[in-house]
Amino acid sequence: GEALTPREVEILRLVAAGLGNQQIAEQLGVAVTTVRTHLSSMYEKLRLKSRVALALFAAQAGDVGA
């Protein structure tokens, strides 16, 4: 799959930390729709179907890109 952008990695970390889209949007200073767009892109790149799968992926990947 394609690599995640730095922004997507950031969102992945926040999802893994249990934040909702609204909280993520506030933390990053973007609109909720922007967060959703990033998430869709991530689901596609990682071939995942859900937020839970995304969080599990993040957990397995460890501290991605740190």
Q: Kindly report, residue by residue over 4-41, the tens digit of the pLDDT.
A: 999 999 999 999 999 999 999 999 999 999 999 999 99
Burial 4-43 (b: 16+ CB within 10 A, else e): beeebbbbbbbbbeebebeebbeeeeeeeebbeebbebbe
Residue 56 has pLDDT above 70, yes or no: yes
